[in-house]
Amino acid sequence: MRAGGEALRILLAEDDAVLGDAIFVHLKHGGHAVDWVRDGAAADAALRAQAFDIAVLDLGLPRQSGRDVLRRMRERGGDTPVLIITAADAIADRVAGLDAGADDYLVKPFGAAQLDARIRAVLRRTAGDAGREAAMSIGGLVVDPDARTARLDGSSLDLTPREFDLLCYLAQRAGSVVTKRELLAEVWHQPYGAADKTVDVHLSWLRRKLGETAQEPRFLHTVRGVGVRLEALP
């Protein structure tokens, strides 16, 4: 998953047996060396004893929380890239994890392709990649976070700053369902509540500029009762 595609040494800290086994098997099949631990104390010990290319760290670990594991590693100068995984409604934990030194997060449930994409993204950023975050291409849509530009089928999109932030956030999590609660917290930095209609309004404006409707989506797919997913139709 590095630029050259070579195998990684990965620490997986997940106490859920079913999810942990699925991640472990997937990463092993990808040719990576994976150490799977099931509690925070074991994760802390592993990070002290060995060097890893990346750690995939559940925040809700027994014996010692994933956030505490992360915080202690950063306090002693550890620079292992960390991807935290957390429940969909645990926004406060997600923010706390990022504040403690995580490089990115992935919301449960997620697919194998999403996990691979987030690991690649974390490794690109932590490796530097000339100081840039790579542009993201989803079908005919290209979103460049650094340049703050978006193009659709080669033509520039005229987006407001908030529309761009919304599109960029969804593009960074392409293929994942993102809730309105999460969008309010991460894009608007507001708690979920009376302002939730703001998300619907901005999604409507964004759909118009992408040349689609809620009934005929090309990129923004509503998952009724859950949220929205950015994904290009085949």
Measured CA to CA, the distance from residue 87 to residue 108 in angstroms comes to 5
Residues 105 and 186 in one domain: no
Can you tell me whether residue 27 is helix, strand or coil?
A: helix
How far is C-alpha 53 from the chain's CA centre?
Answer: 18
**Among residues 67, 95, 130, which one ends one of the domains?**
130
Is the domain of 30 the same as that of 123? yes
| 73 & 175 share domain | no
Same domain as 140, residue 125: no
Q: Are residues 148 and 208 in the same domain?
A: yes
pLDDT in tens, 80-126: 999 998 875 666 777 777 777 888 888 887 778 778 888 887 887 77
Structural domain tally of the chain?
2
Residue 190 lies in a domain: yes
* pLDDT one-digit tens code per residue, 155-209: 999 999 889 999 999 998 888 888 888 888 778 766 655 556 888 899 999 999 9
Domain boundary among 109, 130, 151: 130
With respect to residue 2, please indicate whether it lies within any of the assigned structural domains.
Answer: no
The whole-angstrom separation of Cα 129 and Cα 107 is 25
Indicate if 79 and 15 belong to the same structural domain: yes
Q: Pick the closest to residue 45 from 73, 75, 5 (CA basis).
A: 73
